[in-house]
Amino acid sequence: MHVRATVPMRIDLAGGTLDVYPLYIFEGGGLTVNAAIDILATADVASRDDPAITLASQDLGHREVIPSLSDMQYGGPLDLVKRALAYYAPKTGLDIQVGSQAPRGSGIGASSALLMALSHCLNEITGRGYDGAQILDVGANIEAQLIGIPTGKQDYFPPIYGGVCAIWFELDGWRLESLSEKQPLVEMLDERLIVSYTGIPHSSAATNWAMLKAYIEREGNAVERMSEIKTISSAMRECLLIGDMTEFSSLVDAEWQLRKGLAEGVTNDKVDAMMTAARNAGALASKICGAGGGGCMITVVYPGTKTQIAAALEAAGAHVLPAHVVQRGIEMEIA
C-alpha cells in the first residue's frame, strides 16, 4: 500500500495562545482565528515486505534505517515521526518520506502540519479508521508528549480543514466554524496579506509557556492582556464574516500591540525594524505568526500595493514567501 498526503500550513490572525490548555479553561473558553496558506507539508508512506522502517526528510537531508518498530529508539531530528509511528504501530515495515516547505522555526505550524500529513497516512495504512477530529486530538497529544510542556492546538486545523476558520476551545472540547466556505474571504485576504520570514528561528512552544506562566503567576498585566486578546478574537471573527477589511487591519495591529507585552522576547529590534519599513512603505499592520519571538510575520496591505511593500520588507532583511491563503485542506493519494 502507498499513501501520500499534502497539507497546508497556517497563519494566525487573532487569538494565538488562547488555544493552549489550560489557559482557555481559565479564560472561560478560548477563540482563535486562523487561515490556511499554501506553504505545504507532505508525507509519503509505502508498506514493505519486511519489518524494516526507513525514515527520510527531504528538507533536512536526513535519513535513518530502523530494523523494525521494536528496535526504534526515540531522539534525533525525526523524533516526532517516530512518536507517531509508535502510536499507530504498523504491523509491516514502511518507507516514510516527509517534507516541509517552511523555513526552520517559522511559527506557521510546520511540525504540526507535517504530523497531520503523516498521521493521516499511518491511519490509512494501519486501518485505524479515525476521522480527522480524532487524528487531530491524538496528534496534539503526541506533540505535547515530545516537547514536554503545554502546547497550542490551533496549528492542527488548517492542515485538515483548510480555509479561514474560527476555532473555539471550551470545557467540553473544541468546535470549528468555517468563515470562508460560503463567501470570497480567501480572495479578499489573499490580496491584502504578505507572509514573510524574519530570518529569526523561534519556538512557539517556549514562548507560549512563558505567556502561560505569566498568566498563572499574575505577572504584570498578563491576565488583562489575554482577556483583551480574547475580545479581539471575537471581533476578528465578526469582521471577517462581513468582510470588513478596514476593521481587520485595525484588529491585527491591536492584537500585536497586546501580544508584545505578554512575555519577554515576543519582539526585538530586528522585527520592529522590518515592521517599520513595511509601514513606511504603506502597510496597514503587521504581526508575528504564532506566539512571537521570530519566525514568520503577516503584513496587511491595501490591494495593489503588495509589490512595493514586499520590496521594503526584503530591503529590511525579511524574506517574502510565495504564500497564498487557500480554501483546500488535506489532499490524499492512495494506491
Among 27-31, 201-205, 208-212, 314-318, the minimum mean pLDDT is found in 201-205
Name the band, by pLDDT with cuts 50, 70 and 90, for residue 105. confident
Q: Does the pLDDT value for residue 191 go beyond 90?
A: yes
Name the band, by pLDDT with cuts 50, 70 and 90, for residue 324. very high
Beta pairing class for 2-14 and 331-334: antiparallel
Cβ atoms of 156 and 12 within 8 Å: the answer is no
Q: Which of 160, 96, 153 is nearest to 122 (CA)?
A: 96
HSE, CB side, 13 Å, CA atoms: give it for residue 144: 18
Per-residue pLDDT at 112: 96
Residue 107 vs residues 12, 29, 104, 129: alpha-carbon distances, Å = 9, 23, 9, 31
The 10s digit of each residue's pLDDT in 64-100 is: 999 999 999 999 999 999 999 999 999 999 999 999 9
Rounded to an integer, the average pLDDT of 20-24 is 92
Per-residue pLDDT at 182: 86
Q: Does the pLDDT value for residue 203 go beyond 80?
A: no
Beta pairing class for 164-170 and 30-47: antiparallel
Q: Which of 297, 225, 291, 209 is nearest to 257 (CA)?
A: 225
Instruction: Note the Cα 219 to chain centre separation in Å.
Output: 27
> Per DSSP, which regions of the chain are E strands?
2-14, 30-47, 53-57, 62-66, 94-100, 164-170, 173-178, 193-197, 285-288, 296-300, 319-320, 331-334
Beta pairing class for 285-288 and 164-170: unpaired
The Cα 324–Cα 277 span in angstroms is 22
The three three-digit cell numbers of residue 146, written as one number: 515530545
Average pLDDT over the chain, rounded to whole?
95
What residue type is 110 in one-letter code?
A
Q: Which structural domains are found in the chain, ordered by start?
A: 2-180+327-334 (3.30.230.10), 185-320 (3.30.70.890)
Residue entry with cell 470545557: 171
Per-residue pLDDT at 263: 79
Per-residue pLDDT at 213: 85
What residue type is 83 in one-letter code?
R
Q: Does the pLDDT value for residue 206 go beyond 80?
A: no
Q: Does the pLDDT value for residue 231 go beyond 90?
A: yes
> Other C-beta atoms within 10 Å of 163: how many?
22
Three-class SS of residue 119? helix
The Cα 111–Cα 119 span in angstroms is 12
DSSP result, 129-155: ---HHHHHHHHHHHHHHHHSS--BSGG
Residue entry with cell 506533540: 143
Three-class SS of residue 208? helix
Residue 210 vs residues 150, 213, 221, 258, 289: alpha-carbon distances, Å = 11, 5, 14, 15, 16
Three-class SS of residue 100? strand
Q: Does the pLDDT value for residue 262 go beyond 90?
A: no
The 10s digit of each residue's pLDDT in 277-317 is: 999 999 999 999 987 788 999 999 999 999 999 999 999 99
Strand order in the sheet with 193-197: 285-288, 296-300, 193-197, 319-320
